[in-house]
Amino acid sequence: MSDNCCYSFLDLFRAAHGRDWREEERERFNNLPQVEKNKVVRQMVDETGGKWACEDRRWTDGKVYTAFWRVES
């Protein structure tokens, strides 16, 4: 992985859905517990058809975050 932390959730959403997210979608995502956010991230990565990848990482706060990045082609 070369572009650690270079992409936003909006970038991933655009890749998965081909559009910007609506304000209510953004708010709903932001209000999810971290475990649920991780599930949504993995689902969106799957929806990119292999153009994006992800992996779970434990951060210094002890929580697990699903990191994601665009796959170089």
| CB burial of residue 26 (10 Å; 0-12, 13-18, 19+) | middle
**Overall pTM surpassing 0.85 (yes/no):** yes
| pLDDT for 26 | 96
Choose between 47 and 4: higher pLDDT.
Answer: 47
Q: Using CA atoms, how far apart are residues 6 and 2, in angstroms rounded to an integer?
A: 9
